[in-house]
């Protein structure tokens, strides 16, 4: 692969571990770009469903992935063509559908170049499952953020409620466990820490503590300045 244009900090881990919050805080503080790679899989699954494509039709989905009219607007909105899909892609069902299309190797390959294009100056914070292992293997700082399944279910529950979406704690826990299982067991880029990742278990940590640990690691690698 070609070397990315800019330094990348990768943050991988299971859903609900706090990656999104950490990445947004890091990208803001560093003034770097942010890639929410899960949104690509979520939008692709939605696009496929709207077009009546089966979620295991790898070749059709990969072809659609190559020309997917996905746009991240400044401010955080996500667009599919002329539809604002920011809310539609955040439901639990959309996460399950994303996990299904994400298990397909042709789909992952089709989305690779698009993800690497986000590595632009001055730098990129990349959130996902395989950022450190597959998409940006040369990243100078790789984080693997985990937390227990019940802690993650609880966080997801609060997030959904805050967005005014329907949520049920027990169903969320079942869904998180099913998604973990599928993301870890798949043969294409399974969820696992890169060999050189800094592994952080956030179950009993506040986001500020997680941020502090990552910031210190970034300082040590010369990716940011003190202060
Ligand atoms: O991070 P998220 O919950 O938005 O991701 C949705 C699904 O997409 C998740 O179950 C696994 C998949 N995914 C992936 O396989 N690789 C990524 N880099 C990001 C997400």
| Local structure of residue 132 (DSSP, 8 states) | I
Whether residue 2 is contained in a domain is answered as no
pLDDT of 91: 86
Whether residue 222 is contained in a domain is answered as no
Which residue, by CA, sits nearest to atom 18 of ligand 1? 128
Whether residue 13 is contained in a domain is answered as yes
pLDDT of 4: 59
Domain that holds residue 136: 8-217
Q: What is the CATH number of the domain that holds 79?
A: 3.40.50.300
Q: How many domains does the chain have?
A: 1
pTM (predicted TM-score): 0.92
pLDDT of 227: 63
Residue 219 Cα to ligand 1 midpoint, Å, equals 28
Whether residue 226 is contained in a domain is answered as no
Whether residue 223 is contained in a domain is answered as no
Which residue, by CA, sits nearest to atom 3 of ligand 1? 15
Whether residue 23 is contained in a domain is answered as yes
Preceding amide of 122 cis, omega within 30: yes
Whether residue 106 is contained in a domain is answered as yes
**What is the rounded CA–CA span in Å between residue 132 and residue 144?**
9
Strands annotated E in the chain: 8-12, 33-36, 70-72, 78-80, 83-84, 124-128, 141-146, 198-201
Residue 23 Cα to ligand 1 midpoint, Å, equals 15
Strand pairing class (33-36; 8-12):
unpaired
Segment 71-80 long-range contacts (CB within 8 Å, at least 24 positions apart) = 72/36, 72/39, 78/39, 78/43, 80/43, 80/46, 80/47
- pLDDT of the chain, 227 residues: tens digit per residue: 555 579 999 999 998 899 999 999 999 999 999 999 999 999 999 999 999 999 999 999 999 999 999 999 988 899 999 999 999 998 889 998 999 999 999 999 999 999 999 999 999 999 999 999 999 999 999 999 999 999 999 988 998 899 888 889 999 999 899 888 888 888 888 899 999 999 999 999 999 999 999 999 999 999 988 76
Structure tokens belonging to residue 55: 């979620």
Coil, strand or helix at 204: coil
Residue 83 Cα to ligand 1 midpoint, Å, equals 21
Residue 38 Cα to ligand 1 midpoint, Å, equals 4
Using the structure block, give the residue that is written with the tokens 């503080």: 29
Whether residue 40 is contained in a domain is answered as yes
């Amino acid at each position: 692969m070609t070397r990315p244009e800019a330094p990348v900090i990768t943050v991988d881990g299971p859903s609900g571990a706090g990656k999104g919050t950490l990445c947004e805080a890091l990208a803001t503080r560093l003034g770097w770009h942010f890639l929410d790679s899960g949104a690509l899989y979520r939008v692709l699954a939605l696009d496929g469903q709207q077009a009546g494509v089966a979620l295991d039709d790898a070749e059709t989905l990969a072809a659609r992935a190559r020309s997917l009219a996905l746009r991240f607007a400044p401010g955080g909105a996500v667009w599919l063509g002329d539809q604002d899909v920011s809310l539609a892609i955040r439901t639990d069902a959309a996460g399950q559908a994303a996990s299904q299309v994400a298990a397909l190797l042709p789909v992952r390959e089709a989305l690779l170049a698009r993800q690497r294009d986000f590595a632009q100056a001055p730098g990129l914070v990349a959130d996902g499952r395989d950022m450190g292992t597959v998409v940006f293997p040369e990243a100078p700082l790789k984080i693997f953020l985990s937390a227990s399944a019940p802690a993650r279910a609880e966080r997801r529950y609060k997030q959904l409620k805050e967005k005014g979406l329907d949520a049920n704690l027990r169903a969320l826990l079942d869904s998180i466990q099913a998604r973990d299982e599928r993301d870890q067991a798949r043969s294409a880029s399974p969820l696992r820490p890169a060999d050189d990742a800094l592994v952080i278990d956030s179950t009993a940590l506040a986001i500020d503590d997680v941020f502090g640990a990552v910031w210190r690691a970034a300082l040590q690698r010369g990716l940011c300045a003190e202060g």
